[in-house]
Chain A
Amino acid sequence: MPVSRRFLHPEAAQRVARLELRARHIVEGFLAGLHRSPYFGQSVEFVQHRQYVAGDDVRHVDWKVWARQDRLVIKQYEEDTNLRCTLLVDSSSSMRYGRGSINKFEYACTLAACIAYVVLRQQDAVASVMFDNRIRARLPYRTNRGHLNDILASLEEHPPAEKTDLDAVFKEVVNSLPGRGLMVLISDLLGAEQSALRGIDTLRRAGHDVIVLHVLDDDELDFPFADPTRFEGLESSQTLTCNPRALRQGYLDALQRFLDHVRRACAASKCDYMLIRTSQAPDAVLSKILSDRMRLVRRR
């Protein structure tokens, strides 16, 4: 099966193509157009004055104010920019889980491909990063349609392996990416809970707009096992032989606590968070993501 057919279903791509992806915040970009930049630069529309601080470019000093009021202020203008979207796809071992026709990693790749397609279709730039406990593959921002094939190939070439360390990976991502943009994190967030939450916070502190797509399998959310089972950890060597029914309620309680922590952390960091079951149709999930974001933009 071609890579494009595997991760990007034609029906899903056609459905999401009709939507526009709008960032909640104005992002920095080099393509004037639909997105307002959060940065002030050379533009025709004045926004405000600000007190001059050492280091500011003296070319932006409003000399007329200095002449009348004897104080140095800087003139700021609003400019439209293009979107720079970074797809952060978790390729750790835990993403390999899935009992149905598709596992979490494949589902994450599908979502990533759909988002890349939408972004490229509206002439915005998209980059991709695949990681586990380090960055496994990285593609730079491009706006041309051919970049989609590169992204799809990258997803295909790096199957899940190793443990997850979001904190370390995202620090590296923040340091390596120029400017701020939209970060779409597609992961199960399993591994070290604190590390995951710190990683998300790192992205947000760097000024990125962050969307967390939390992908979990139905089994992980419902724990439907009945027969005596020996559970073997995907990211660890731990095993547990038990009667699953006896531990089900405790497991679901622990999972619920984890999900609550993640939700609260995302809300605190003003990140968009969505819990996604692998049984949900990807296009429906993508439609919901875009519609939610457009509603937020219009509200502003």
Chain B
Amino acid sequence: MQFLFQPLTYGFLLVAVPILVHLINMLRHRKQSWAAMEFLLESYRKHRRWVLLKQWLLLAARILIMLVLVMMLARWISNAQWLGIFGGRTTHHYVLLDDSYSMAEQDQNVTAYQRGLQAFAALVRSISDQPGQHQLTLLRFSRAALAARGGSDNVRMDAAADLISQTVPRDPSRLLDRVTASQPSSLQLSAEPSLDLVVPLVEQHAGEPAEVYIVSDFRRNEWGQPETLRNKLTQLKNASAQIQFIDCAQGNPGNLSLALIEPQQEVLAAGVPLMVRLQVRNQSSQVARNVVVRVKTIQYAQGQTVPVGEQSYSGQVSDLPPLVIEQIGPNESVSRQVQVVFGIPGEHAVEASLPDDSLEPDNRRWCVVRIQPSLRVLQIDGDVNQSNAFFLSTALNPDGRSSTGMSIEARDANYLRDVRQEELRSWDVIAMLDVPRLDKQAIDNLESFVRAGGGVVFFSGPNNNLVELNNQFYRGGEGLFPIPVEGAVELPIVDGQQEPQVWAEDHFILAPLRSLSTSPFPLVQVRQLLQIPSDFELEQAGVEVVARATGKRPLVVDKSFGSGHVVAVLTGLQPAWSNWAQDPTFVVLALRTVGYLGSFRREVASEIVATPINTTVFGQNILPDAEIFFPSASGPRMRVQQKTEPQTDQQLASVKLSIDVTRQSPEVIDALMRAGVFETWLMTTDGKTLVRNLARNVAAAEGDLARVTSQEMEEKLRPVEIRFRSAQSMSAAGWATQTTSPSVLLMALLAGLLLCEQALGYAASFHPPPLVTGGTR
């Protein structure tokens, strides 16, 4: 038997009072001389048993009254199911806690998440202080979102909820300790998955009182369109649940977010400078000035770097000069590029960070840069003198003083026919230089190469066979070549012409030349180029124009094919077709085209938080044990052991770690939802360590701290009745919850006992009857 107010149980000693009163009454009496003793004795003899019985019953009733009274005051708690028939039904409390990273917004060193936890603690204490039976369910948005990825509803709910239908103990400290130790996740989350899980649970107990508390910061990016939740909230209402929105956020502070970090689609080769693009978003209504972005590079030397769990990274960390953005307007984004150089091949990382502000998680961002020893370029030249290859290789690798990271080789067209697929995949880019025709096998190999992510660039020339181009390479749009060709046209050349003949379009390849104030192409002369049929719609065919020639004729086009891309330069490298190969802008065209085409086979530089870990290792003999290091904001990093999974291809092995709330431990789930660099350490059969890095970043949109007002939400959710409260007021004033308790039973029992006591007292003649005096009988 449990009581809320344990000290009041000393009140049970009060049951001695009726006994003492009874004993005192027996001892304390007045003496009365009496004449008519015989009648009194006769009455006593006749009624003695009844009188004694009534007195004992009266004493028992008074003792029970004291017992019940003390039980009521001390708040008796009982989990006995039979109490339900007396109105002591179980009240279910469902707390849906938003742990998206916007809940990490700080105000006076207290985060919105902490305010939410304080409100939750106040609720739990309030429940524990209240009589009646209460069951508590706590579900975090992140767990619900992860559980929504798979599994049946019951399994998902059991695995996802921190607390599920748990009876609140009288001392909830331990329960609260477990919950309040949690931290907001790094995810962008909505309430929908949580409601999906809770609605069936509420409907399951539709006959019993239920309170659903949605504890969130109600940011506009998640709650701006609450109409989508209306059906689920209506379902809750139909199940007689009371819905309360608990607002944890305060004010609308400004926030700077690092929205993007990615390496440009350039050559990622050892020793080659690499541009990394950064984007900073000012998500406030005020101008941000002198924003300092700090950039770090983390270099991993394959075979030399060893895993170090005590530091944030196992690699060598180098700070780059900070980048200062003078001004970012309200709700504007500013992009900048920083140049980084990794001298050795490997899976390196770049970290960018902003100064601390109200929301910390979106102030850091990472990307992984996979640096190759060199970018392998294969040239297939249709000119017997290899003059085309000369121009291209000269542009790609002009001399030995500056490294462009290219490894260029020239082969004849038969190589494409005879080469194995595995060998062909070792090339990053294939340049087809005025190739007249290819065997079907060669075309198939080339198409397989591009579909797998490789890149091909076509240069035209006098050897081009138009029929071959259209029938074999283009094939009505299904082939490799991006466009059909009508024929070669000659463009008139006027001596002393000042107008440039080439114009760069909005495309990555010539983007640096496009932003110049004057045209960089005044000296480029295009004499001949392949003509596209006039009725051919470039946009409909998915063809992008990189550059145009006179008459806005497409000069350089780009089209995706499978996972790779194909770029076609519709003029030739030889002077008879154009002098572009002799112009400095051709170096830009060549380098950026090769870098662009070589980028599509690379793994992505970063992904959104909570993307499962899946690392594939090519061409290595890997031991089966792998170790994954999770990012950590501070202190030693957590690590887990994982077995590699052999692939059908003997050359491949992969390490996978999915996010499954039904299988993974809560600690691993928490770690998998962090942002940062995940290091996967493997070991080759010859004893060398091998690291594969993955970067995970938060969703930038969550950093927008604009909020939805309660009035707005009320209007959008109408007719669903929602009660809005602030977490701070809840923590201070406590929670009013629906209560049912054994007190109803006790009160009824007490009333019954009091009536019984009165009746017994009357029956035992302790109530004075109306006296009739003065008359004779």
Q: Interface residues, chain A, CB within 8 Å of chain B?
A: 93-97, 104, 188, 190, 193, 217-218, 220-222, 224-236, 238, 240-243, 245-251, 253-256, 258-259, 275-277, 279
Contacts and interface: CB of A to CB of B under 8 A. Distances in A.
A270 to B, nearest CB: 21
Given A240-B44, A250-B42, A250-B46, A94 B35 contact: yes
Interface residues of B, number: 36
B43 A253 contact: yes
A250 B771 contact: no
A223 B771 CA distance: 9
Given A217-B35, A241-B26, 18 more contacts: A96-B33, A97-B35, A220-B35, A220-B36, A222-B771, A230-B32, A240-B40, A243-B764, A245-B767, A247-B765, A249-B765, A250-B43, A250-B47, A251-B39, A254-B38, A275-B776, A275-B777, A279-B774
A163 to B, nearest CB: 11
29 contacts: A94-B35, A94-B36, A190-B36, A226-B768, A229-B32, A231-B32, A232-B31, A232-B32, A232-B34, A233-B33, A235-B35, A235-B37, A236-B37, A238-B41, A240-B37, A240-B40, A241-B29, A243-B766, A245-B766, A246-B47, A246-B51, A246-B55, A247-B47, A249-B43, A250-B43, A251-B36, A251-B40, A254-B38, A255-B39
A109 B332 CA distance: 122
B772 interface: yes
B648 interface: no
Contacts of B290: none
Contacts of A279: 773-774
A231 B46 CA distance: 17
B30 A233 contact: no
Closest 5 CB pairs of A and B: A250-B43, A245-B765, A94-B35, A254-B39, A228-B29
A230 B31 contact: yes
B765 A188 contact: no
B25 interface: yes
A228 B776 contact: no
Q: Name the residue in B29, B34, B46, B773 with the highest tally of chain A Cβ atoms < 10 Å from its Cβ.
A: B34
A234 B35 CA distance: 5
A223 B42 CA distance: 14
Interface in B753-772: 764-769, 771-772
B39 A248 contact: no
Contacts of B552: none
A86 B773 CA distance: 32
A287 to B, nearest CB: 16
A253 B42 CA distance: 10
B772 A246 contact: no
A163 B30 CA distance: 24
Contacts of A229: 29-32
Output the residue of A96, A221, A259, A275 with the most chain B CB within 10 A. Answer: A221
A19 B409 CA distance: 165
Contacts of B34: 97, 231-234
A234 B47 contact: no
Contacts of B773: 218, 222, 224, 279
B141 to A, nearest CB: 71
Please indicate which of the listed interface residues B51, B773, B777 has the most CB atoms of chain A within 10 Å of its own CB. B777
Nearest to B39: A254
Given A247-B44, A255-B39, A234 B33 contact: yes
Query: Which of B26, B39, B776 has the most chain A CB atoms closer than 10 A to its own CB?
Result: B39
